[in-house]
Amino acid sequence: KNFIFDICGCKATWTPENFIKKSIKQIREETGGGRCIIGLSGGVDSSTAAVLAAKAVGKNLTAVFVDHGFMRKGEPEIIERTFSKFDLNFISLDERERFLRRLKGVVNPEIKREIIGEKFIRAFERIARKVRADYLIQGTIYPDRIESGVRKHSEKIKTHHNVGGIPSKVCFKGIVEPLKDLYKDEVRRVAETLGIPKKIVRRQPFPGPGLAIRITGEVTEEKLRILKHADEIVRIELEKSDLRGQLWQYFALLLETKSTGVKGDSRVYGYTVAIRAVESTDGMTASYSKLPHTLLERISTRITNEIPEVNRVVYDVTHKPPATIEWE
């Protein structure tokens, strides 16, 4: 700060209010005020982009929630209840069978992300044709672009479904990304200024491909059922603690690796669940959270007692870097 402001003489002119005015103008200019659709996931990024777009084009905006089957337990219902109350043209699509069928046999995480990105776009195209929309608006933020390697001096770390996962040929005249230069903390400031409900503003980051990239290896109905239950346990136990406010993200992963265990007097060969909890301000770097051992023990005991297919629980103690927050 001393170098930037005192020595170089730079001034901090960015404010949420200025950004909102600029973004509304940008969306109108890029779309000509025409019909648009936006993919709505229930997170702060897409919700903020949706409110900005609604202010820019009004009733010419259609918000689309695609249920790909990889959301956390109970989330599709919450999203539908929440956004059906908003003054938006809101459409919900049940695409669970299509997505799962397309991922059959796929184990490579990059291919998973690309397939999911392509399926999202095709679903949006079907709705766009129905409502005669020419533009797609996305809640892409700066870290998505950095990790996808779209900048000249950045290497690709992983493909984000809304960046590198977009097919080369789409039916839209243009894709508009009003948040593409913002970090997550800046998006939250904009969201608060727009009056978006706090439960959305403070919702922890959740990847677009969802639980499909929190399952290492092939995604199956059985694995999704197991992971949804394990993730629910992690969320419930952490949300009961006084640590929730300091955590950037906390979740469970289901590993392809199996291991030998004992339940009762019998040998079992079951799945391993990993727990990930990190602290961060912008998601670009993160430190693993030093959760109390008693809390980790309670989570582990619940998971192994309530989910017969799981016999081992581990905790990820790796920072970002060298690891990313998500495993895939």
Residue-number span of the structural domain to which 121 is assigned:
2-201
Cα–Cα distance measured from residue 36 to residue 217, given in angstroms and rounded to the nearest whole number: 36
Q: Classify each residue of 143-164 as buried b or exposed e, where b means 16 or more C-beta atoms within 10 Å of its C-beta.
A: bbbbbbbeeeeeeeebbbbbbb
pLDDT tens column, 172-200: 999 999 999 999 999 999 999 999 999 89
Shared-domain flag, residues 78 and 148: yes
Which of 201, 227, 262 finishes a domain?
A: 201
Shared-domain flag, residues 181 and 233: no
97, part of any domain: yes
Residue 160 pLDDT: 45
320, part of any domain: no
184-194 helix and 16-31 helix, angle to the nearest 10 degrees:
90
State how far the alpha carbon of 161 is from the alpha carbons of 128, 164, 166, 202, in Å. Answer: 19, 6, 7, 22
DSSP state of 205: P
Shared-domain flag, residues 266 and 172: no
Residue pair 310/268 in contact by the 8 Å Cβ criterion: no
Which of 201, 236, 253 finishes a domain?
A: 201
Residue 156 pLDDT: 47
Shared-domain flag, residues 274 and 168: no
Shared-domain flag, residues 17 and 86: yes
Rg (Cα) of the chain, in Å, rounded?
21
CATH number of the domain within which 180 lies: 3.40.50.620
Shared-domain flag, residues 74 and 111: yes
Q: How many CB atoms lie within 10 A of CB 104?
A: 9
Shared-domain flag, residues 30 and 161: yes
Shared-domain flag, residues 51 and 120: yes
321, part of any domain: no
CATH number of the domain within which 250 lies: 3.30.300.10
Shared-domain flag, residues 188 and 306: no
Residue 168 pLDDT: 63
248, part of any domain: yes
325, part of any domain: no
Positive or negative: CA dihedral 79, 80, 81, 82: positive
The total domain count for the chain is 2
Shared-domain flag, residues 37 and 154: yes
Shared-domain flag, residues 180 and 300: no
286, part of any domain: yes
Which of 141, 175, 201 finishes a domain?
A: 201
Residues in the chain, pLDDT under 50 = 150-151, 153-154, 156, 158-164
119, part of any domain: yes
Shared-domain flag, residues 51 and 174: yes
246, part of any domain: yes
pLDDT tens column, 57-90: 999 999 999 999 999 999 999 888 888 888 889 9
